[in-house]
Amino acid sequence: MIQARSVTAADNGKILVLHVTSRFSFYLDGKTHPLGDLESSVQATSLLGYISNGSILGPQCYPIMYEAVQQGKALVQVKDFKLTIIVDDTLPQSTFPLH
């Protein structure tokens, strides 16, 4: 079952607006969207921090949970999947599923 605050492959090309300390999970297929590629892309943004107790099967499996740690804007990309993340406490947060 996909968690309520999850980003899925259906969210490709969308924008996710968060506040600092907001948490959400990526729920992608590891065969088409390798977790290592996601981790590299997320680390390059410096906007998100990994939440270990939110990764049900451990740090090398989906779903994988992150928390917004600082304000800014970045693109997270895993092969053909792209998600723009905006962390801005003055904007309304995105609702899930993303529209």
Domain ranges of the chain: 6-87
The pLDDT of residue 56: 73
In this prediction, residue 53 carries a pLDDT of: 82
What six digits make up the tokens of 84? 């723009």
pLDDT of residue 26: 94
39 CB-contact burial (10 Å; exposed 0-12 / middle 13-18 / buried 19+): middle
Per-residue pLDDT of the chain (99 residues; tens, 9 = 90+): 455 689 999 999 999 999 999 999 999 999 999 999 999 999 999 999 999 887 776 667 788 999 999 999 999 999 999 999 999 999 999 999 897
What span, in angstroms and rounded, lies between the C-alpha atoms of 35 and 52? 14
pTM: 0.90
The answer to whether the beta carbons of residues 29 and 9 sit under 8 Å apart is: yes
